[in-house]
Structure 1
């Protein structure tokens, strides 16, 4: 297994993804893409922004996201979780990974300005407020917007957008009324510390209504490489950044999409991953991790191969093993907690 260096790729993409002079980042234009076909009219705004519903009716029993970010947002904002089931987001155009199961068209992750528009945090926030006000009294709670999500692409290639958004919310005096959810793919190395000052990081850390959701792109070197085509050694870098973000004082949650082509020694591989999380990130990290299934949207469908279809079948077995391994390591009381009720660290 060889693969590319995703951190080097991130450095190459970054200059096209950010306009430092005007404090803007490149957001993907979704009009005309396969992803657009997956969106309904009430969830797609100005060809760029959309509203993501986290737990759909058919997922209620499965509850793949274990209630987040709705649970923590509802607690912070003093509203019901049902009022936090949708998040407003724009997608940063540019990503340093090539995950085959990504629901985003490649052009929307290319950092090519031809397929995007530059937005400031203030412009992003104003668009959010327009849509929020339209539906703030809607009887359909999935149309109400209380969560502003900064997604991608990869946000942490241009971490300045996080502090710019925090500053915009404070300037608009909305810091107590909106919850910010930030995505991270865990393979941007030291970008967060390299491109943000200590003062900027402190401002983010002190912003009470913000959570970071990191995504592990495999549960061993083999699956990491299968999923991303990146060099397998960067699998280990994920744990370092995950831990470092926690040490930074951020409220960190995580995902694992447990797709795998091979089921050989599957239980041992998953158990090893879980123990590595406990040892290198936090004793409670697995309890703050969701293992949702991959859904095949338009862009994903075009990338399917017989091997990848097999990986999609195998994810269900992997999810069951994950649950069983959790039961071996935690008490029933601990397992009953929602992720936001679990301490970030022991």
Structure 2
């Protein structure tokens, strides 16, 4: 296989199961980078390998397309904590690809960060599809007060979700279910959406959020950095970035 590229119309949960075989090993998980970043006022970041969605605008290129590459090493949760604790910032986060693919790993990592880095907030950046299919997973996140979840929505309705991800449109409902579960479990979270849509489309999403109890004011509209590989992928799918 030259690169990971699921067939159009794929099921996000089926691709999740396949990608897990490459990036999860018991309580260990593959990462491709550890770094200090300016986000959230400064944070220590662990960038995960492997995703269950194929988003047109994703800034992660090679680690997402080649999750089996031997250069990506497996790390225990304690290994990740040791890397992050030596970095600055008031926040630690797991970003890059999809952190929730490896459930046992991420839950242990969150617990260890709460114990070893008690003064830091833990930000979990996710597309929400896996959490939307597993409310018990969301409940377990609720056991940790230091966790904040950023749910990266991939569209404002099922059709736009499908255009961005090439996935089955039903995947959009998994994202909304994730938001409902987080809201009902009382977990700190906010939704985000890429700046790929018209203002009227964002307004439509705001109405959907309001209907499920999520304050529209909490929606983050995320600027897109158009790297060369992103430009090629957007062009391939007939998408443009709204400035």
Q: What are structure 1's unaligned runs of at least 5 residues?
A: 29-47, 55-69, 71-84, 133-143, 317-346
State the Cα distance separating 1:148 from its structure 2 match. 0.9
Q: 1: distance between equivalents of 2:64 and 2:164?
A: 18
Match of 1:92 in 2: 48
State the Cα distance separating 1:249 from its structure 2 match. 2.6
Match of 1:5 in 2: 11
Q: 2: distance between equivalents of 1:232 and 1:12?
A: 19
Q: 1:126 to 1:221 in 2, by over 3 A?
A: same
**Higher fraction of strand:** 2
Q: 1: distance between equivalents of 2:46 and 2:180?
A: 27
1:50 and 2:35 matched: yes
- Spell out, residue by residue over 1:44-85, the C-alpha distance to the aligned partner (whole angstroms, 9 max, x if none): xxxx2122223xxxxxxxxxxxxxxx3xxxxxxxxxxxxxx2
State the Cα distance separating 1:192 from its structure 2 match. 5.9
1:221 and 2:165 matched: no
- From 124, 130, 133, the equivalent of 1:190 is 133
1:149 and 2:93 matched: yes
- From 219, 235, 243, the equivalent of 1:305 is 235
Q: 1:304 to 1:206 in 2, by over 3 A?
A: closer
- From 59, 65, 76, the equivalent of 1:103 is 59
Q: 1:303 to 1:170 in 2, by over 3 A?
A: closer
1:166 and 2:110 matched: yes
Q: Which runs of structure 2 are paired with 1:252-263 in the superposition (5 Å)?
A: 252-260=189-197
Q: 1:297 to 1:255 in 2, by over 3 A?
A: same
Q: Which runs of structure 2 are paired with 1:64-75 in the superposition (5 Å)?
A: 70=40
Q: 1:259 to 1:18 in 2, by over 3 A?
A: same
Cα pair 1:95 1:110 within 8 Å, conserved: no
Cα pair 1:109 1:153 within 8 Å, conserved: no
- Using the size of structure 1 for normalisation, the TM-score is 0.62
Q: What are structure 2's unaligned runs of at least 5 residues?
A: 1-7
1:26 and 2:30 matched: yes
- From 290, 294, 307, the equivalent of 2:224 is 294
CA RMSD between the two structures: 2.4
Q: 2: distance between equivalents of 1:13 and 1:192?
A: 21
State the Cα distance separating 1:178 from its structure 2 match. 1.5
Q: How many residues align?
A: 235
Larger gyration radius, structure 1 or structure 2: 1
**Higher fraction of helix:** 1
Cα pair 1:49 1:88 within 8 Å, conserved: yes
State the Cα distance separating 1:99 from its structure 2 match. 0.7
